[in-house]
Structure 1
């Protein structure tokens, strides 16, 4: 049995993720276009890549038990990729062990030569002798068993547990959160221009209104790139949690004029697109600022349907001093660890380190200081992260109130008013969304005024 094209595509992508720090969401479509697989084979390759990436920690823990190795890093990269993919094929997709072993041996011979084939064959045959439940017991019994079985770095599991408790949620829900991070996310659409109900009626495949966002639709199947309104920019692919944070920014009440709007860190442009549509309806002027030129290009593409938007490239940390008290409404969607969107970028969890927090939180404080300087008295500043980690959320709130002299408004009350429905949130002035509770990315948002 020769190696199938779908598995070859998966191995090539996994190698690029491992060796070049590529993202599956970018690299896999490129390889699929070159391979010209059938839709069925492309779907299989996609599941192999994303499923393997999500559960790499679990499979590595099992292989360490089998081989006695301290780290999978001791293996050649192609062997590492082939073993991980084969484990997902066998344990998660329930492909017959004989077929999985045969394909893995063929892949090893193609990518590495004959020498490692015996090792791969032996490891996978040992893997096949026990079912998933038995491996689960052994992995969970070991040190950091929860982190390994649910495929998250140990330090991140500790941080997520602390985040649940600090945000007023039940820390006993930790495993539910970890499981949710390993589930494929839905494809959500944000209707920027036009009527959501009308769009839902004429789409060629099934969509349902999102549970909370009044501008959102959730796809159960189909390619959003085939939707005319997506191609024109009237509709955009955007997680419901991200939509809710933008609605929070749009509907926060303020005193006085409401015509000068700033999206301080606008790339890649999803939130800016919703803001631009609302600014056009209200007669406000939106400035979409982005520090990196390549991300500013994405903003320009996202905001193509909107005329009265100023897109500029600049360091957000300088805006407060350059434009003191100029803006009525500011959205600061701060650079962060992205640990709230692990469902969408499963490989990202292995690239984050505790040391990253120190650098990012320092940047967030500088951006908050600048945003506070650019905010006029009576205006509103909405601080958002795609991370629930305490250092990036609650700690920054304390900095804004104690050091910068800002006052918090009730973000939950504002959000409930914006979406005209109830949403389960802990008590307090902040909004923290969770994939296991709300079905969204783990977005954090809060509202300040001065």
Structure 2
């Protein structure tokens, strides 16, 4: 896993400063701590908070890489570190102040999953504690992190996790840093899919590559290649920045002719655009558009045949993001602020409809490391009525002979096929079609008729698509 083979120079950073009493905290670690606090205490999103913090602190190069690994890795492995810390602290973790617990998690990540000298890691975290929480907390941080440093990650897993023979799911929850309920849901969803549960969990712990999309008619993969990207595996419009870096520096991205978009997200939009429909095919709808990556790809595609996309988003600030994504695409495309469950247009108005519904986001744990600990089974139950209502609205909105793509960025069975089956059981005017042929060249798509993509099989987020045709 990438967390176990990191790219930082924290050992040099710490060892060069040994013996300097009462010095200030390391700036990069301080930024990382503040971002983690923003995520855990304020419900922030790691990617947004980190990007903003890196800009404001003017961190780049190795400092930015160190900070990014420290933030994402700490959030990704949070639940596992808590198991180890519970064995190293003389009180219940629930009784520790949250800001102190976050410091201990940051220290644990450096000691167990990053190549940071143990003396440097402990010393730097003690100094950061003194700066952020005061002198009297430093003793506890020093003692606990020294206990953590006495074992490797593998040794801690062996000591703290249930044995594989006794409880496989419980063991994986600690060894692969996923909540038990998430692992159980993934196990159900995998079924007989190629690869295995452990491979999926390991892939979830690999930071994703930066994937770009060249919007049709505006840019192409060759142009992105000139900026250092290589063609993606499956999408004809996808390209990967293998060396990472800021995609905003690429002219096509900066002007909106290209964008940042996971390849799985591209594939489900392309599948909807490729499904056969008879007759008129110029009026497309994105029912849940924000932030607008799929909207932009669909708008570019429909524009090439003289059509129009209507994008609906209930939140104004997210509708503004959609407009930003569409800014370079010609044509009479519309972005409306509204509730997709309460259409203001006549039934049967559209030829194709995308219903990319709100979900738990469990399919994007690679890029949203905090989501695995933030989401609960209650979120699945609470989102279900909205998902069904949106799919029902999408089917009502499409014309006879038209198609609907029901999409989630979650493989949880109760957010995918269960929603589709429940809605179709209430209607007699729509049916599920085999969507696998709409993913040309992509292997391991399962038994159909719906399609589930996987990080460990396809290198994408775990996107789900069901294709529904109006009778």
Q: Is residue 140 from structure 1 mapped to residue 164 from structure 2 by the alignment?
A: no
Q: Is the 8 A contact 1:326 1:375 kept in 2?
A: yes
**Does the 8 Å contact 2:405/2:468 carry over to 1?**
yes
State whether residues 359 and 415 of structure 2, in contact with CA within 8 Å, keep that contact through their aligned partners in structure 1. Answer: yes
Tell me, yes or no, if the aligned pair for 1:78 and 1:108 is still in contact at 8 Å.
no
What TM-score do you get using the length of structure 1 for normalisation? 0.94
C-alpha separation in 1, matches of 2:312 and 2:41: 33
Could you say what secondary structure the match of 1:85 adopts? helix
Q: Give the structure 2 partner of residue 293 of structure 1.
A: 316
Name the residue aligned to 2:333: 309
- The corresponding residue for 2:14 is none
Matched position secondary structure for 1:66:
coil
| Equivalent residue in structure 2 for 1:52, among 70, 74, 78 | 74
Alpha carbons of 1:409 and 1:38: their partners in 2 closer, same or farther (altered >3 Å)? closer
What residue in structure 1 maps to residue 8 of structure 2? none
Alignment of 1:22 onto 2:44: yes
1:25-36 alignment runs, 5 A limit: 25-36=47-58
Structure 1 residue 249, shift from structure 2 partner: 1.0
1:149 is matched with 175
Looking at structure 1, the residues matched to 402 and 69 of structure 2 have their Cα atoms a distance apart, in angstroms, of 46
Matched, 1:435 2:451: no
C-alpha spacing 1:422/1:442, structure 2 compared with 1 (3 Å): closer
Post-superposition offset of 1:69: 4.5
Equivalent position SS for 2:87:
helix
Aligned to 2:149: 128
Q: Name the one with the larger helix percent.
A: 1
Q: How big is the shift at 1:89?
A: 0.9
Paired residues of 2:253 and 2:260 also in contact (CA < 8 A): yes
Distance 1:401 1:109 in 2: 59
Correspondences of 1:403-442 after superposition (within 5 Å) = 403-405=426-428, 406-416=430-440, 421-442=441-462
- Cα pair distance change 1:38/1:194, threshold 3 Å: closer
Secondary structure of the corresponding residue to residue 116 of structure 1? helix
Helix, strand or coil for the counterpart of 2:460?
A: coil
How many residues align structurally? 439
Counterpart position of 1:161: 187
In the alignment, structure 1 residue 37 sits paired with structure 2 residue 59: yes
What is the alpha-carbon distance in structure 1 between the residues aligned to residue 52 and residue 224 of structure 2?
A: 30
1:217 aligns with 2:239: yes
Report the TM-score when normalising by structure 2.
0.90
Partner residue in 2 for 1:445: 465
Q: Distance in 2 between matches of 1:123 and 1:9?
A: 22
Q: What is the SS of the residue equivalent to 2:239? A: strand
Residue matched to 2:270: 247
Q: Could you tell me which residue of structure 2 aligns to residue 5 of structure 1? A: 27
Contact 1:108/1:114, CA 8 A, preserved across alignment: yes
1:341-383 deviation digits (Å, cap 9, x = unpaired): 0111111122111111122111011111111111111111111
CA drift of 1:42 comes to 1.8
Deviation of the 1:235 alpha carbon: 0.3
The one-character-per-residue Cα deviations of 1:284-343 (angstroms, maximum 9, x if unpaired) are: 111111111111000011001123201111110112x74211111111111111110011
- 1:93 correspondence with 2:114: yes
Q: Distance in 2 between matches of 1:120 and 1:21?
A: 25
Q: Give the RMSD, CA atoms, in angstroms.
A: 1.6
| Structure 1, gaps ≥5 residues long | none
Equivalence for 1:393: 416
User: Secondary structure of 1:317's match?
Assistant: coil
Q: Distance in 1 between matches of 2:64 and 2:396?
A: 50
- How far apart in 2 are the matches of 1:407 and 1:38? 51
Dislocated runs of 4+, deviation >3 Å: none
Give distance in 1, aligned partners of 2:225 and 2:130. Answer: 52
1:273-288 alignment, distance < 5 Å: 273-288=296-311
